[in-house]
Structure 1
Amino acid sequence: MPRQFEWGGMPVPYITAWSAESLDQPPLIRRVVGSFHGIGYADEDPRADRDADTGALLARQALAPGFGIPVFEEMNGLRQRQAVRQMLCQVCGRPAPMRIKGGRSLYMVGSGTPIGEGETTTAPSVHPACALESVEHCPSLHRGFSAALVEYSPLWGVAGVVHDPATLGPRLPSPSPTRLTRVPVGSPDIPWTPAAALVISLHGITPISLDGIRKLAVLEEAPC
């Protein structure tokens, strides 16, 4: 079971990046393999550096949770991808429940705008109890959030910094880690985007209130 870290009395979400996990990214090269034209690393390992589903190059990141200080505005790409693919809770890292309300999963985003059908997000699912914990401690969620029960959440694409095929430099200057471009699967930009995170789309939406999440948390603790 993943260890839950705290910082200043506040729980640190599983997918949050830590300062010790930052890596200098290797230089990008133009890579042409068969019909593939895009960017890559000179020492690229296809098993670790390339996403099998989208074909996107993966931004490199270390794994050192609990070391340094938490960088709450950033996600660790490795843990984010693991949480998305294995349906882990973004807060505690344990498998998210699928038995509540007809097998739906709970998703929460830091926005006061209701989650819409087909909306895209980099946020993995979350346990109801962990969602309540996040609302209590997370400053950004104090400003507003939306939550919904979701029937299915297929892979939509990747989030990253799109690079120019001519210069191999970022297409936009000095992008913020929290302002990554979302690129859908099949886009011609995928081969030129080192992916910092996977993006999913949310379908079968049922909005849920804070009181509704509290009720789900009670059900979650009840025996099956």
Structure 2
Amino acid sequence: MSQLIVPYITSWSAEQEIPSRVVELPGIGIGYANEMFGDRDAQGVLWLRSGVRHGVGKPEFGKVHPLRQRRAMRKLLCQVCAGPADLNDDGLLWLLRDYRSDWTGWPDGMGCTEPPVCLPCASVSLRLCPALRRGAAAVRVRESVVAGVRGALYRKSPIGPVSAEDVNVAYDDPDIRWVVASALIRELRDCTLVPLEELIEQRYAAHKR
């Protein structure tokens, strides 16, 4: 029987969101009523609280664990195995849904929440990931800047802050003080599209060495 491959950033059924009351902090934005050290990142942004029980229960494919996604994006780790992402002279390797018809030069300048990948895991992902089977693009990225977060934007109300919508927010946007983040965003720059066939050839060449 083949071994089940579960990406590092995937949430498990034992890792449920920790119920937390969001309150307004006058002049600051929002916070947790019982806020603790570690609830905010180095830029002061509030993050979603989630249990950390990696590998316990059943994998919830399609649901990303916020802290592991943040770690993988911050350290540029492979989203599948958590090892170093593949790097060559053209840059780090990203495997993305193919949206090159969205604009000329895609994905240059795109805000991305998917961490990069290593070569072996790229081959596995192309084979097994349902989203990528609908159309995938391999991209080498020479520069990726931590630019902001994706999360729930809160608004004032008579009963206190209420979640209004999911948004992508830059770190220099004042609205970020009203966001509970669930994913870190990097802006991809100086990108080169790599034919998937070439990526597979690189994988086999690396395997033979």
Q: TM-score, normalised by structure 1?
A: 0.83
Aligned letter for 1:118?
Answer: G
Q: Following the alignment from structure 2 to structure 1, what is the Cα–Cα distance between the partners of residues 38 and 205?
A: 39
Is the contact made by 2:17 and 2:51 (CA closer than 8 Å) also made in structure 1? yes
Question: Per-residue CA shift, 1:32-61, capped at 9, x if unaligned?
Answer: 4xxx5211012212x4001113x2101011
Q: Residue 140 of structure 2 corresponds to which residue in structure 1?
A: 149
In structure 2, runs of 5+ residues without a counterpart are none
2:162 aligned residue: 169
Tell me the residue number matched to 2:97: 110
Aligned length: 203
Match of 2:8 in 1: 14
Measure the CA separation in 2 of the matches of 1:184 and 1:171. 17
The separation in 2 between residues aligned to 1:144 and 1:73, in whole angstroms, is: 17
Q: Give the RMSD, CA atoms, in angstroms.
A: 2.0
C-alpha displacement at 1:112, in angstroms? 4.4
Q: Partners in 2 of 1:156 and 1:73 — Cα distance?
A: 23
**Partners of 2:187 and 2:169 in 1: how far apart?**
12
Could you report, residue by residue, the CA deviation over 1:74-95 in whole angstroms, capped at 9, with x for unpaired residues? 1111111111111110011112
The aligned counterpart of 2:183 is 197
Aligned to 2:40: 50
Match of 1:85 in 2: 74
Q: Deviations over 1:66-110 (max 9, x none)?
A: 212211111111111111111110011112233x2x161001122
List 4+ stretches of structure 1 deviating above 2 A.
Answer: 110-115, 218-223
Q: Which 5+ residue runs of structure 1 have no aligned equivalent?
A: 1-5, 173-179
Identity of aligned residues (%): 34
Question: In structure 2, the residue corresponding to 1:154 is in which secondary structure?
Answer: strand
CA distance in 2, matches of 1:87, 1:168: 34
Q: Counterparts of 1:54-133 in structure 2 under 5 Å?
A: 55-98=44-87, 100=88, 102=89, 104-113=91-100, 115-133=106-124
More strand per residue: 1 or 2?
2
Change in Cα spacing, 1:163 to 1:149, as seen in structure 2 (3 Å) is: same
- 1:29 aligns with 23
Task: Name the SS of the counterpart of 1:206 in structure 2.
Answer: strand
Residues 156 and 199 of structure 1 are in contact (CA less than 8 Å); yes or no, is this contact kept in structure 2?
yes
Aligned mates of 1:219, 1:90 — CA distance in 2: 22
Per the normalisation by structure 2, the TM-score is 0.89
Tell me if structure 1 keeps the 8 A contact 2:143–2:190: yes
Residue type of the alignment partner of 2:139: A
Separation in structure 1 between the aligned mates of residue 54 and residue 96 of structure 2, nearest angstrom: 23
CA distance in 2, matches of 1:193, 1:216: 41
CA distance in structure 2 between the partners assigned to 1:219 and 1:125 by the alignment: 20
